[in-house]
Structure 1
Amino acid sequence: MFLIITYDVRWGGTKSLNDKLVHSVACICDCIQNYEWQQLVNNTVRKNSENQIVLAIVVRLFNTEMITTNNIKSYYKYDRKKNRLNIDIILNLERYIYLSEKETVENISKDIYDYLSIILKKYSSRLVDFNVPIFLSALNEQLKRISHN
């Protein structure tokens, strides 16, 4: 495996909204962290197929009040010793309140992909043995599969 991803969803105001958000983000994270998919992609993204985590991602859904009150922002930091890019993506859960679960999955997937494509391009030269363009293409295809299920 070359990628680990987890999530944190804060209270959105109702149980049904929280259930929808948690289920949507869990579905996306499970799909991205899928072992078979990562093994398949690993062979095209990396020359040295050692089992080393290159990307550690956290997706957090917070409401506007929490984001502004605590000045919470997305961030990323490269760890040279581990050759790992740690990425913390902050998404405003209020963007997904009125969407169906399918639309929520599609929109969160797009938001994750858009953020990763910007950050990974900045760090492509530092990520040793990791082909960013090929990974982004594979990730895009995997996220489209989620949206179509």
Structure 2
Amino acid sequence: LDAATGAVIWSRELVAGSAVHGLIASPAYDGTNIYAGSASPPTALFALQPEDGSTAWRHDVDDPIYSAPAAGKGVVVFGTGAVFGDLDTGSVVALSTRDGHRLWSYDTHSSVRSGPALAGDVVVVGDYAGDLMAFRPKS
């Protein structure tokens, strides 16, 4: 939206939404790209250019993304996993903001629906099982 007028600058449909799927979580912005995760097929994290909404890159994942991504210092981090059904699968995934390649991931064995927090070089995230985890990935 245009900050001065409220007019729509661009709009983009990335996935077909429904009552429980689509783009559920808040997007993130790092000064270069806007990052949005999809709970509907294709389950992926999208990096969009803020000027026109075009796709800078897309990284597909196996499980839905209900987690809001967090972006900073060249990395975007998000969680995966279902909101119903098989809640015993999930992961925390970190991608390069430059091109979307996977930097690291961790299998949590539980759905990760909360958005991660970046605190310096530490990533903190909670999962459906009630575990709060802190990661300090190797650079």
Q: Which is greater in Rg?
A: 1
Q: TM-score, normalised by structure 2?
A: 0.29
**RCO higher in structure (CA 8 A, sep ≥6):** 1
The structure richer in helix per residue is 1
Higher strand share: 2
